[in-house]
């Protein structure tokens, strides 16, 4: 079965991608994919899981009532044996996120690559992908007009991962 939804976001529309991203990442914390890909020219350490009211306590080993950032959640996944490949542009904007991720992640399960021509924006797991025009930044998630497609499909996710591996290398 394939589930696909296009989400158009922006200030004028009044929609944001936060809830979809939070749902995807919470599901990953419960049952991590074997290999995740994050491909985005620009990445910020955006807040992705709002646990201030304890809503996500059950998905964390040692929860606290606070916002969890993208680097924290991705690092937790690598520490739960998920492999993570990150592809971003070599740009100073990305450095704080990449450094936090390097410090917190299981280094054996993390690969970071910088490519000057990357423009694709995709977050992909074993059975799903979130792809479209949005960079993983505050502007991308909360301000800019964006179009993102969330697709649950083992075949589509596998095809994206194979394409990424062919283009960017990665885990054997």
HEC per residue, 56-117:
CHHHCCCCCCCEEEHHHHHHHHHHCCCEEEEEECCCHHHHHHHHHHHHHCCHHHEEEEECCC
Please state the separation of Cα 6 from the chain's center in Å. 17
Q: Which of 108, 34, 30, 131 is nearest to 73 (CA)?
A: 30
Q: Which of 118, 124, 111 is nearest to 155 (CA)?
A: 124
pLDDT at 1: 67
pLDDT at 121: 96
Query: Can you list the residues of the chain whose pLDDT is less than 50?
Result: none
pLDDT at 145: 86
pLDDT at 172: 60
pLDDT at 7: 82
pLDDT at 144: 83
pLDDT at 116: 95
């Amino acid at each position: 079965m394939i589930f696909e939804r296009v989400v158009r976001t922006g200030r004028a529309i009044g929609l944001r991608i936060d809830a979809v991203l939070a749902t995807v990442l919470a599901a990953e914390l419960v049952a991590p994919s074997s290999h995740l890909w994050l491909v985005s020219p620009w990445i910020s350490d955006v807040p992705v899981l709002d646990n201030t009211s304890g809503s996500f306590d059950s998905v964390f080993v040692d929860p606290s009532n606070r916002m969890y950032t993208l680097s924290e959640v991705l690092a937790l996944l690598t520490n739960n044996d998920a492999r993570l490949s990150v592809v971003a542009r070599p740009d100073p904007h990305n450095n704080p996120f990449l450094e936090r991720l390097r410090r917190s992640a299981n280094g054996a399960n993390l690969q970071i690559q910088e490519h000057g021509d990357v423009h694709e924006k995709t977050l992909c797991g074993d059975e799903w992908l979130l792809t479209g025009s949005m960079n993983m930044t505050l502007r991308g998630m909360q301000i800019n007009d964006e179009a993102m497609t969330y697709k649950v499909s083992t075949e589509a996710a596998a095809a994206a991962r194979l394409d990424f591996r062919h283009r960017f290398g990665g885990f054997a």
